[in-house]
């Protein structure tokens, strides 16, 4: 198990700033996501409902990463108060929905793949 800090915990622990590689988890604040496609840079904020921490990331985030969803970032907290992330892990929805009646069953899907023409 790997622990992550919440934004409130990170702001309360000044000793963590820039001293070590950590994980920070929270919700991506609505309206905070700025993407610069030419440079693959992303800037956004993570919140735990109380504190907000600005985050910078360069790269390609996971498909599920977007505003209003949970994310865990890995990197270092800078002395300037901005978290420099080099990894984003997006939290997926935990809500399970069974297949609808209109969708073919797994057996039907399999049979359609092996059916000879």
Give the pLDDT band of residue 97 (cuts 50, 70, 90).
low
108 part of a folded domain: no
Residue range of the domain that includes 26 = 7-93
Terminal CA-CA length for the chain: 50
β-pairing, 52-58 vs 70-77, is: unpaired
Percent of the chain residues topping a pLDDT of 70: 72
**CATH code of the domain containing 33:** 2.40.50.140
Residue 49 sits at φ, ψ, to 5 deg, of: 95, -15
Give the pLDDT band of residue 60 (cuts 50, 70, 90).
very high
CA distances from 65 to 42, 84, 90 (A): 11, 17, 5
18 part of a folded domain: yes
102 part of a folded domain: no
HSE of 21 in the Cβ direction (CA atoms, 13 Å)? 6
Counting runs of H as helices and runs of E as strands, what totals does the chain give? 2, 6
């Amino acid at each position: 198990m790997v622990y992550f800090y919440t934004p409130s915990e990170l702001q309360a622990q000044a000793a963590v700033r820039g001293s070590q590689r950590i994980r920070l988890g929270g919700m991506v604040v609505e309206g905070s996501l700025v993407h610069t496609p030419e440079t693959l840079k992303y800037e956004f904020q993570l919140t735990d409902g109380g504190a907000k921490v600005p985050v910078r990331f360069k790269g390609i985030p996971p498909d599920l990463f977007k505003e209003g969803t949970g994310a865990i970032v890995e990197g270092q907290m800078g002395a300037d108060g901005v978290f420099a992330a080099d990894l984003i892990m997006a939290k997926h929805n935990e809500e399970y929905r069974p297949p609808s009646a209109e969708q073919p069953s797994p057996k039907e899907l399999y049979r359609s793949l092996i059916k000879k023409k």
